[in-house]
Amino acid sequence: MNDLKIAALVPMRHHSQRVRNKNFRDLAGKPLFHYIIETLAACPEIDRIVVNTDSQPIQEDLAAHYPQVTVLVRPPELCADDIPMNDILLYDTEHVPADLYLQTHSTNPLLKSSTVSKAIHEFLDKKDAYDSLFSVTRLQTRLWDRFTQPINHDPEVLLQTQDLPPVYEENSCIYIFTADNLRARHNRIGRKPLMFETPVEEALDIDEESDFLIADLLMKNRLRS
Q: Write out pLDDT tens, residues 16-57.
A: 777 888 898 999 999 999 999 999 999 999 999 999 999 999
Task: Give the separation between CA 157 and CA 218, rounded to whole angstroms.
Answer: 36
Least confidently predicted of 32-36, 60-64, 141-145, 157-161: 157-161
- pLDDT surpassing 90 at residue 163: no
Q: What is the pTM of this model?
A: 0.93
- pLDDT surpassing 90 at residue 197: yes
Nearest to residue 133, comparing CAs of 203, 93, 202, 190? 190
Q: What is the mean pLDDT of residues 164-191?
A: 95
- pLDDT surpassing 90 at residue 82: no
Task: Give the separation between CA 53 and CA 163, rounded to whole angstroms.
Answer: 44
The model's confidence at residue 2, banded by pLDDT at 50, 70 and 90, is low
The model's confidence at residue 64, banded by pLDDT at 50, 70 and 90, is very high
Tens of pLDDT, residues 4-17: 999 999 999 887 77
What is the pairing mode between strands 193-197 and 30-31?
unpaired
What does the H/E/C string look like for 38-72? Answer: HHHHCCCCCCEEEEEECCHHHHHHHHHHCCCCEEE
In this prediction, residue 81 carries a pLDDT of: 84
% of residues, the chain, pLDDT over 90? 83
- Cβ neighbours for 46, distance < 8 A, ≥ 6 positions apart: 6, 7, 8, 40, 102, 116, 120
CB 35 within 8 A of CB 219: yes
List domains and CATH numbers for the chain. Answer: 6-139+169-224 (3.90.550.10)
Q: Which of 74-88, 103-117, 144-158 has the highest mean pLDDT?
A: 103-117
% of residues, the chain, pLDDT over 70? 99
Q: What is the mean pLDDT of the chain?
A: 94
Q: What is the mean pLDDT of residues 167-184?
A: 96
Q: What is the mean pLDDT of residues 208-219?
A: 95
Reported residue count of the chain is: 225
Q: What is the mean pLDDT of residues 91-118?
A: 97
